[in-house]
Structures are given as structure tokens and as C-alpha cells.
Structure 1
Amino acid sequence: MAAVLALSACGGTDGTESATATATAANASPSESAPAELGTIKESGFGQNGEYVWATAVVHNNSKYVGQTVTVQFNVLNSEGEILGSESAVEPFHRPDADHALGAQVDLEPGQMAATVEATLDVEARGVFSDTPFPEVPIGKVAVSEKYGASEASFEVTNPLSVAMKSPRIAVVCRNGSDDIVGGGTTYPALVPASGKAKVDAHLLVTGTPAGCDVFTGPPIDWDGEGLDSEAPDSSESPADAAGSPGVALKRWLEQFNAKDWEAHYATLVSAQQAVISEDQYATCRSEDAPPKFTWEKVLAVKDAGETAIPGTDVQVPSTQVSAQVSMEGVKVPVDSHMVLEDGEWHWMMTQENIDNCL
């Protein structure tokens, strides 16, 4: 990771692209401090049956990409604010700009009663999940019933793929008449036939009798785009990758780095740093090393970074932060870069460490 950060054009960042947010639930509302770059908790809540609690959160993917690692950590508290138990749920974002449901069962001691749930969100750009968007899965009418003292949600699932879905993740979020979350559950049906249908029964942990339940369907854990039609969306395409965008500029920077084209590199270095280090100094400095090669994966996020200090100078300029994913020796890692628009062209910044090593 240190090598990647030294190569990226960012200054003053640790290179870890993650979004962290906290929500407190008593049928909870998410914290207003939740960052919007990658994802946010829209709502969270819980249901309890005996000593078993189902904590769940509805998380929105704020990006145009999928495959990020999403973790929600749940703390179940009693009325005095003491933590009775904690669990986490880990899933990928599988659909861009869409809601996803994550939940976990928390086992309490007999007689303990949950009063609130704290839900904390973390979204990491890196991940082992597919970066192909999963299509919408049609869901039939959801019927909630009682069986053997427990609640169950039954519904029909239609497979939008031309191949069988084996163990897709299906999350159920249930609400009361006030639209508060009162629990839910998750299930993994063994198989839904290719372009076919299956009836699914999901066990629920809920408080009282739900007024209704919503169903969120994700891909099998090993799915990587199989069975999509040719018109399925491609997460590698984005407005952030449009011609002349900072994302394209960063991709070009990486290609020049791999080619050791230091002249082209220097040509798009911010002018304030060109006044500090000459082209010969830069080329000599870069040529002394044997830099690794990187493979471009995709842009993850682009946002306005406001006034930014240019390392090695007294200059501050408006910049745009580009977060991207690259791979090195097969390992996908995130990088950040601050790009500056000068005379209609995007320029990059050297880090302070790079400047010190080259002077």
C-alpha cells in the first residue's frame, strides 16, 4: 500500500477509501454525519423474539459502481445504554445508486430486553466481490404468517438471469404500521431456475406482527456476471470516465507511469510544482527507481476537495479528489489523487515525500 500511495498524485491523505457512519436505532434514524461519497445508512432497526434479536440496516450505495465491501456493525443496547451484544454483517454493494439491506442475529441472555440498536457503517473500495451490477429481481406479493410460534415471510422470486441462481442472498426488512423497522431475516434458497420462478419462505425475527415486509435480493457469493443479457449495465462506464474528466486524467497518468514516460508525466504536473522541480530533475529521480506496474480498474468516486495546499509550495488551489481502484500483482487497492484544472487541462500533484526525494 505504501508504494501505491507514493505513486498516487494525492497530498495529505492516507489513501484508505472508506466511508464510516453511525446510526442509533430504537427503530432508528441514521446519523446526519454519514458521509455521502460511497454509502450511507438510510434507516435501521431491530426486532426481538425471546433472547434473539434481528438487527438490520438499509444502506444506500451513493456511487455508480458495485463490488465494494460493505460492513455494518450492530450494538444492541438495553434501556440503560449498556451493550447486551454485538454482531456484524458484511456484504457487497451489488447495484449502483440503490438501497441494500444488511442484517445480523444477536443472541442475548434469557430475560434481557433490547431497547436500541447502534448501527455503524463502513464501505471499503477494495473487495473480492464482483464489479458487475446485479439486475433487479422481481418479487411477488409478500405474505407474513405465524408458524410454530415464529413469523415467516413467503413470496415468489423470479430469476432475471439465463442461468440458475444458486443460493442468492435474500434479505427481508419488516415494518410496523408506523413504517418503523421491527426486524426481519435472511435466507439463501438453494436454487432458482434459469429465467424461472421459486417460492421462498424466510424465517423472521420480529417484534409483534409486521404490517408489511420488503425484500432485497443479492447475487450468489460467487456470481460474476453470468447469465446477463447484452444490454446489462456495465459498472466500468460512468460520467466520471467521460473524456476530459479528472478520472480519465488519472488513468492516463497511470498509463504514463507504467510506460515510464516521464516527459509526458511532467507536462501535466501542476505549474506551482514545476516551478520547484525541473523536468530533468523529475525524470532523473523517477529513472533511479524500478517502479512496479499497476493495472487500472475503475474510478470509484469524484468529489470537490475545495482549496488544497500544493505540497512543496505556498500555493493553494481548488482541487478535485479522484478515488480509483488499481491492481498490483493481482491485488486490488484504492488510490486517491487531487487533480487541478489548469488552462482547461487536468494536472496532478506530487506528494511532499516525492518532492523531498527528487530534490
Structure 2
Amino acid sequence: MAALSDARRVVVKIGSALLVDKETGAFRDAWLRGMAEDVARLRARGADVVLVSSGSIALGRGVLGLPRSDLPLEQSQAAAAVGQIRLARAWEEGLAPHGITTAQVLVTLEDSADRRRYLNSRATMEALLAHGVVPIVNENDTVATDEIRYGDNDRLAAQVAVTVGADQLILLSDVDGFYSGNPALDAGARRFDVIERITPEIEAMAGDAGSGLSKGGMKTKILAAKTATAAGCAMAITEGSGVKPLSALEAGAPVTWFTPQTDPHTARKRWIAAMKPRGALVVDAGAETALTAGRSLLPAGVANVEGSFGRGDPVAIKTVGGAMLGYGLTRYTAAEARAIRGHKSNEIEAILGYPGRAVLIHRDDMAL
């Protein structure tokens, strides 16, 4: 069974009902301070932490004096715009005393569905984590319409976990795990400690009941678990209203763990290898040696470019002799790749007329 103490990179999803007082619409300050201490403790032992935090609409609703009933889209977006700045400031002020820098990352469903946006998001998040920053992620409710929305932060958190290659996803909820039935209505409902595989029977047990200000029910958590575990990320559902919920989890609080089906690195490689290539990059002997040693593909090592492809598209990687080395997601279009092939990375801006990324295919986006 997974344990939070083993996490190298963890994504924590925080619902509105935990962060914002249901009656007053104000922050639960003591809870936020306790959560900040938990995050600081994880960071101190070397773990990367990403927070997927709800609360912007709930906060903005109170500031604007909007009713607690369902709001029209434009009013929800207005509330989100007002609440987002307060949400980001609260996390910044909560984590700053621990010497932790925060960053606000706002995303939509399109950012993961479109490979170019996905790669940009991944690169940005990796850079933030490399600098020791704790990203605060939320859906960009101010611009997202229904057709480009996740709609709930459970599935958003799972996608973030996949994007950053997290090994653990923690969903802080108003229930202490996954039950065979709704424990509020069924006295015989039992909690699962570990779910090794999400079967049709498990899916049938999930209910739809939400919790106050949050939109997610147990069905969304099961969907999140399917996404996370397929990508090699263990997922936990645990009760999060206590002042230090992550400390409580480590101390043995009730929880349901969903077992990953593989590891994040292998899952990503399989995903890339399964794509149909749109073109090919032919590499010289020096690049071939570098790639097999685990390095990224630089423009200098490309001898030829075949086909027509865009940024983020899958391409084959071949030797000059025609042997297949593998597949990868390119950070340049075919036209750009042809222009910079054989050149050093510090020459890219002069050739293209604008700054670009140093590598054509990053090693994390490659399956050899």
C-alpha cells in the first residue's frame, strides 16, 4: 500500500468546502495555516508539491454578494475573476513564512487535449518545480466555457498529476475514503482501505452526492482514479477538514488508496510510443549515442527532417541508415526543424527570429 512518506512528487486537491467557510464565505485561516505547515514539511524532505485548489468562485461569490444557488455562466466567471486573486494571495501569504515561493497556474481542458499546449504546460510546471516553487493550479473559470471545462477539480487534479509525472495524488474530501455505499444513508456501507483495480462493480458503488460549495461527487473521484492509476500515480481519498490533513494521513487517518497500474515513467513512454508519427527526424551518429545515453535531442544532431508536422506532434526518430530509434513529441514544427537542423541551440533565435526551446525533443517526451 502507498504511503505519503514515500512520495517524490505529490499533487494535492483541495475542495472549496475545506478552504472556504460554507456559512460566511471567508477563508478558514487556521486550516490554511495548517495545510501550509504540511506542505512545508513535505518540501523539507525533498518532495515536490503541487496544489490543485478550488475556491475562487466561492470567494468571489461572497465578495460580489451573489446568491449561493447555481449562477449563470457569466456570473460564475465574474465571481472567479474576483476570487482568483484572493485565492492566490491567500496561498502566497500562507506559504511565504515557510520560505516557499508560489505560482498561480490557470488551465482549461484544452490545455491537456491540445498536445502543443500540453507540452507548454508540462515544461512550465517542470521549470517551476525545479526552482522549488509550489504551483497553485485551478481551472481558468474566467474564460472556460462548458465545452472546454473539466467541470470539477478531481479530474483536473488527476490530469495535473499525469502532466507533472506525480507518483501520488491526494484528494482531500469531506469523506474519509471510498465506501461500498453512501455512509450517510447506508449504515452497512464499508470503507475500502485499498482498491487494486477499478472494476465495474466499484464504479457502480460511486454516488453523485456533492458537498456544499464543491461540485465533485464520488463518481468524479473514480474517474480521477482511473486517469491517475493508468498513468502510474497512486491516488488517495481521505477526509481533509482537520487542521493538518496530510499529517493526519501520515499518522494513520482513514483513507482509501488506489493502486497504480504501472509507474509514471513507463506509462508516459507507452503513451508516446502508441501515437502515429506525423513525420520523422533523422539523427547523426553523435545524436544517436547521446539519445541512447538518456539525453534530449538537440537541433545540432538532426541531419534531416521528413514529413509535415506541428509543435507537439509525434514524430519518429531514425538514424541516417534508416534504423528506427523511437518516437517523441517535437517542440518545433517541421519548417522550424528544417531551418535549425544542424545548428547549435544558441543560434535558434537568430535563425528563426524569435527565441525557442533549446531542444527539439526533450528526453521526457521520448520513447526509444
Task: State the TM-score, normalized to the length of structure 2.
Answer: 0.25
Q: Find the structure with the greater CA-based Rg.
A: 1
The higher-RCO structure (CA 8 Å, 6+ apart) is 1
Higher strand proportion (structure 1 or 2): 1
Task: State the TM-score, normalized to the length of structure 1.
Answer: 0.26
Higher helix proportion (structure 1 or 2): 2
